[in-house]
Amino acid sequence: MPPVVGVIGGGQLARMMVPPAIALGIDIRVFAENEGESASIAVTTLGDYRNVHEVLQFAQGVDVVTFDHEHVPQEVLAALVEAGVRVHPGPHALLYAQDKLLMRERLGELGLPMPDWARVESPEELDAFIAEHGGRAVLKTPVGGYDGKGVRIVSAASEAADWFGNGPLLAEELVSFQREVAQLVARRPSGEMALWPLVETIQRDGVCAEVIAPAPDSFERLAAVASDIATRVAEALDVTGVLAVELFQTTDERLLINELAMRPHNTGHWSIDGSTTSQFEQHLRAVLDLPLGATGCREPWSVMVNILGGPTVGEFTGPYPQALADQPTVKFHGYGKAPRPGRKVGHVTATGDELDEVTYRARAAAAFFSN
């Protein structure tokens, strides 16, 4: 019998695990909240991921449980582990992707480079932090934020009055960076790791807009430092599966850890078309403790551009056929999601020898979907 991977969450990350599961001969089953979600082709259970009983029932028929998102509560994860279910990444690792304050504390213990930060419990503490950091700070809710949600740049605590009173907040220095980069790594329970090349990520309104692989002008030492940081995080936190480490490259050429994600990540979507082994295939291999695949670039450059808002990739009455006709070398990825302003509904990836030309093709393809 083929191994069975159970994925909690029915979003586009679960959806994009399905093609490599089919190729590798893995049986993939998805636990989703609602009908018609992105990964619906592989959904075998509808339920609430906060319900211990429902999740345990789903886990009974699977060899390993992994995740489309990081929101499964620790008590549900603990119940899985107690029931003898293999869970990757494990609760003790996921904790640091779920709670940004715990993450900062742990990275601090490990001596890893990151922006100055503080736990702030009151407006007074935040104002003190702001005063010490040039009059501005990045304020984050420790739990539940994503794609720019739960993040606010403030110059006075009064600008975040509505956020106080629900537990501590995370204040971070506003880093003077020249660009953002991301280092992805996959790690098996038995310890083997494989790193993709460092990539540059271009954010718009707090959301990933474009990714260039490899990161242009990433001199050898920069790439080595990024690899070292990701390796240390993966090992120290015992991460299994794909780990994405988002980093600031500062104006003085330091790398500071911005965020961690313990799952396939938007900054790794280029790997579907651009790397010998995609992050989705590698995640499946890793959580099953199978040997990892090669992570080199298939062509010198890959550029991934997100499609935000819509019209949806896959809506064949819209501009999709024109986009296909205009860019026959570009690979299109639809997420099966209804369009909504700002929502990630798909992405495109172009690959080739010349960065300018590759970037042009990817942007030209994505532009058909902007509205």
In whole angstroms, the minimum distance from the beta carbon of 244 to a second copy comes to 21
In the list 56, 209, 336, 363, the residue contacting a second copy (rule: CB under 8 A) is: 336
Could you give the residue ranges of the DSSP H alpha helices within the chain? 12-24, 52-59, 74-82, 91-98, 100-109, 123-132, 220-236, 271-274, 279-287, 320-326, 355-367
Query: Cα separation of 182 and 201, whole Å?
Result: 7
Contacts of 165 (CB under 8 A, 6+ apart): none
Query: Cα separation of 364 and 74, whole Å?
Result: 43
Would you say 87 and 79 are in contact if contact means Cβ atoms under 8 Å apart?
A: no
The interface with a second copy within residues 299-328 (CB under 8 A) comprises: 299, 312-316, 320-321, 324-325, 328
In whole angstroms, the minimum distance from the beta carbon of 27 to a second copy comes to 8
Nearest residue (CB) to a second copy, 166 versus 317: 317
Bridge pairing between strands 301-308 and 344-352: antiparallel
Decide: is 161 part of the binding site for a second copy (CB under 8 A): no
In whole angstroms, the minimum distance from the beta carbon of 147 to a second copy comes to 21
In the list 301, 335, 368, 369, the residue contacting a second copy (rule: CB under 8 A) is: 335
Q: Following DSSP, what letter does each residue of 222-252 receive, concatenated?
A: HHHHHHHHHHHHHHHTT--EEEEEEEEEETT
Decide: is 332 part of the binding site for a second copy (CB under 8 A): yes
In this structure, what token pair is assigned to residue 64? 């390993």
In the list 331, 339, 344, 362, the residue contacting a second copy (rule: CB under 8 A) is: 331
Size of the site for a second copy (CB under 8 A): 46
The packing angle between helices 279-287 and 12-24, to 10°, is: 70
In the list 70, 333, 339, 365, the residue contacting a second copy (rule: CB under 8 A) is: 333
Nearest residue (CB) to a second copy, 163 versus 332: 332
The interface with a second copy within residues 6-45 (CB under 8 A) comprises: 15-16, 18-19, 22-26, 28, 41-42
Nearest residue (CB) to a second copy, 202 versus 297: 297
- What length is written for the chain? 371
Residue with tokens 């880093």: 175
Decide: is 270 part of the binding site for a second copy (CB under 8 A): no
The site for a second copy (CB under 8 A) is made up of 1-3, 15-16, 18-19, 22-26, 28, 41-42, 272, 276-277, 285, 288, 290-294, 296, 298-299, 312-316, 320-321, 324-325, 328-329, 331-336, 346
